[in-house]
Amino acid sequence: MTTMAISVRDLSKKYDSGFAVSHANFEVPLGTICGFVGPNGAGKTTTIRMLLGLISPTGGTAEILGESIKHPDKYLSQVGAMIEGPAFYPALSGEENLKVLATLGGFPIERVGQLISEVGLEGRGGSKYKTYSLGMKQRLGIAAALLPNPKILILDEPTNGLDPEGIQEVRDLLKRLASQGTTVFVSSHLLSELELISEYIVMLRKGEVVFAGTMNDLLLEQQPVILVKTEKESDLQKIIDIAHSDGHQATIRSGVAHIEGPAEWAGTLNRQAFDAGIVLTQLAPQLPNLEETFFEMTGDRK
């Protein structure tokens, strides 16, 4: 019995123009939420398409629930997916669209009504898909992905077009599913959202995996920052001097000293400031957030 929901080894997809995905390696444990991030064109959708058996890799291999992606029929009944946005028949109602997919996949039709309510489309299930707003289309896409009661849920930008309330609902839904044992593999450009829900993170840049591991490991790899404010602004330079003398990089930005260093050093700084007669009004060690880390690692900050 595998403990990995997704296991990718040396996976590549090469087109005439070059590698869309190049020798990707990562694993996603069962029952976790894994964020899949990368700039546009990094190869996220290509990777997802390969995992779902929609396109064949040109190199390497991957397994979903222990089954090779060469045989998608062996695992797709346990996988829910929404890729490249929701796609449905505009002339059919949301409910009918789900019934088409339920019939095709051999899932109980009764699940349709239940899922319509679960994603917050009750009362609109009978309306034609073409009358739906972008947010409603996304919700229907998520409902379609949930049809098989999946062990793995693969979602490509599921919060696109959703309002803040909708985003929170999706976040709660994904957390709930993960708590029930569903593995969620979700790509999104809303990094702050992923930071809130993901335990694992796979970061892609130009088709290459630049990081794959737990969110904690990722953030710990980055240099933490200590933010310092003093009672007298003129004391800030003294704080910078203390930091430099202890070998830490430090700058003053908008009346706040930003010192690169571990959180534990904040205590030392506090003591030294007290000895120097400086009154600190703020001493806040901070880990970099996912967005900063993402730009740092992908080097894409302009």
Between 120 and 141, whose beta carbon lies closer to other proteins? Answer: 141
Q: Which of 241, 223, 244, 230 is nearest to 277 (CA)?
A: 230
73 binds other proteins (CB under 8 A): yes
Beta-carbon count within 10 A of 10 CB: 13
86, 140 in Cβ contact below 8 A?
yes
Between 126 and 267, whose beta carbon lies closer to other proteins? Answer: 126
Stretch that binds other proteins, among 144-152, 258-266, 272-280, 291-299 (CB under 8 A): 144-152
Kind plus residue range of the DSSP H or E element containing 257? strand 256-260
Task: In whole angstroms, give the CA distance from residue 17 to residue 206.
Answer: 13
Q: Which of 96, 118, 208, 296 binds other proteins (CB under 8 A)?
A: 96
84 binds other proteins (CB under 8 A): yes
76 binds other proteins (CB under 8 A): yes
1 binds other proteins (CB under 8 A): no
120 binds other proteins (CB under 8 A): no
Counted residue by residue, the chain has a size of 302
Beta-carbon count within 10 A of 8 CB: 26
56 binds other proteins (CB under 8 A): no
Per rule CB under 8 A, count of chain residues that contact other proteins: 28
90 binds other proteins (CB under 8 A): yes
87 binds other proteins (CB under 8 A): yes
Task: In whole angstroms, give the CA distance from residue 22 to residue 182.
Answer: 28
Q: Half-sphere exposure (CA, 13 Å, Cβ side) for 181?
A: 5
Q: Measured from the CB of residue 65, what is the shortest distance to other proteins in angstroms?
A: 15
242, 269 in Cβ contact below 8 A?
yes
Q: Measured from the CB of residue 81, what is the shortest distance to other proteins in angstroms?
A: 5
63, 213 in Cβ contact below 8 A?
no
Q: Which residues bind other proteins (CB under 8 A)?
A: 52-54, 72-73, 76, 79, 81, 83-85, 87-92, 96, 99-101, 103-106, 144, 147-148
